[in-house]
Chains A and B, each alone.
Chain A
């Protein structure tokens, strides 16, 4: 069997177990699951027979307005398999399990998603802002984050009493 077919079969089996949805998007196979299943899914995906997706490429947060998505891009250094796992996270209470225990490399990526979207990764060893300063308020990449227009920004830059 082709690599792609085996991967499809394994992902279909997994999706049936965790109530997920499988689709194809360009060259990636996409598995969408609810946030509570993520540790189970990623552990299974890492240990797929014949087609392990064991290299974590990237973690991206996406704001879909009604919910957040945490998108994991997985590949392997030993095969052509490529898998995108999407976890749907509640917008009001964005909490998801951290995958640092599965891939140590998730550390910075999760901190970035926390910084930009405010998604809490439970079990993360050092969940603090990575780009913005510690007492920064708000989460810049959320769609409802208000960036001030240039006029306001220019006014803010003038120090008090200098007008």
Chain B
């Protein structure tokens, strides 16, 4: 039987983006089609390029922190964390215990929020309108907590070199407690309404295969790597901050497909809650800022530090020349590198599957375009 969907007539070049709801920002790809089968993908990025690395060279070390918020704006405290920890490592700065615990709590809340947006937008890309609403409803509570901490909801700017901006207000702790108590049920809800759904599973299973060897060769990190069967998480393998004190699992799945990349993130949300609970139990009293010199002047040298962002590993490479401004700041953005596997997972599938596969990479263009 001839099939109009697979038996192509002539090649069609289709331009998707940069202004398109499924492009998660301003991503653009030029795809070639035979019938409805994708034969090649050419990603085009740079529509949101603001030259953050150039800007860093004309700002002092502390002035650059708010700019890092604009990298992965769905988990901005993580980008703050990556940057301030890099500078602290360069300066050899010890930060107070209480600040370390608060950083972990804030970072895991941000990871939770980021994965919620991921689940919502990923469902929406497959026309799951209902599943879009539920995670966004619960994400509001995290944003409210961020507002209590720093006054901002999206670009939180909460970390400082040497600690965090301020002691959390009193109403923060009950809000966090009730959030942690409520969420396990909600995660189940996300599963039932989205990933447990038969139609969603049929759309995602065995689609967008990214084999383990290919993923490693392409420098893929984060959830996409763990969904391809590699047990690697910077929080476990090279703990930064105080992550070595917490007891949590790293979810690893072996399906290598779009569904597993979704599922890994859902499972990670449970682990984030676990970490937050332990941090709430163990957090000591004390100051939230270390004694930091008024003018931050790291010694001459260079440093590379990486953290596990919700979107992949984020690394900062800072070259210092001993002045108040860095000589070079290189940002290794997880989503930027992860985008390279788009051709691997997209070619040979239908257009609609390509959209689902792209969504499963969880690219945020603020981070991709720097």
Q: Enumerate chain A interface residues (CB-CB to B < 8 A).
A: 25-26, 28, 54-58, 60, 62-63, 71, 73, 77, 80, 84, 103-109, 116, 129-133, 140-141, 147
Contacts and interface: CB of A to CB of B under 8 A. Distances in A.
A73 B46 contact: no
Contact of A58 (B220, B332, B340): B332
Interface string B131-143: 0000000000000
B328 interface: yes
A101 B218 CA distance: 11
Nearest to A65: B327
Interface in B203-252: 214, 216-220, 230, 232, 237-238
A129 B49 CA distance: 12
Contacts of B153: none
B284 interface: no
Interface stretch (B14-22, B299-307, B354-362): B299-307
B254 interface: no
A57 B249 CA distance: 24
Contacts of A106: 219
B317 A77 contact: no
Contacts of A147: 54
Given A57-B315, A71-B317, A77-B230, 5 more contacts: A26-B301, A57-B332, A60-B332, A62-B328, A108-B340
Interface string B37-69: 000000001100101011000000000000000
Report the contact-size class of chain B (Cβ under 8 Å from the partner). Answer: 35 or more
Most buried by B among A54, A55, A105, A133: A105
Nearest to B48: A131
A132 B49 contact: yes
Contacts of B328: 60, 62-63, 141
A59 to B, nearest CB: 9
Nearest to B336: A108
Nearest to B319: A62
A162 B20 CA distance: 33
Contacts of A84: 304
A55 B238 contact: no
22 contacts: A25-B302, A26-B89, A28-B304, A56-B219, A57-B304, A57-B313, A60-B317, A71-B317, A71-B330, A73-B304, A77-B230, A103-B217, A103-B218, A104-B218, A106-B219, A108-B336, A109-B219, A109-B337, A131-B46, A132-B49, A140-B54, A147-B54
Contacts of B90: 26
A10 B43 CA distance: 39
Given A56-B219, A105-B220, A131 B238 contact: no
Contact of A25 (B45, B230, B301): B301
A97 to B, nearest CB: 18
Contact of A132 (B46, B313, B319, B339): B46
Contact of B216 (A73, A77, A130): A77
B300 to A, nearest CB: 11
Contacts of A62: 319, 327-328, 330
Contact of A105 (B53, B303, B340): B340
Contact of B217 (A105, A132, A141): A105
Most buried by B among A60, A130, A132: A60
Most buried by A among B45, B230, B340: B340
Contacts of B46: 129-133
Nearest to A86: B302
Contacts of A71: 317, 330
B370 interface: yes
A112 to B, nearest CB: 8
Contacts of A141: 53-54, 328
The 9 closest A-B pairs by CB, nearest first: A105-B219, A60-B330, A131-B46, A58-B332, A131-B49, A105-B218, A77-B232, A104-B217, A62-B328
Contact of A103 (B219, B238, B370): B219
Nearest to B327: A62
Nearest to A84: B304
Nearest to B92: A26
A146 to B, nearest CB: 12
Interface string B280-314: 00000000000000000000011110100000010
Interface in B335-350: 336-337, 339-340
Nearest to A28: B304
A25 B339 CA distance: 31
A75 B217 CA distance: 12
B301 A107 contact: no
Contacts of A77: 216, 230, 232
B268 interface: no
Contacts of A107: 340
A28 B305 CA distance: 10
B294 to A, nearest CB: 24
Contacts of A132: 46, 49
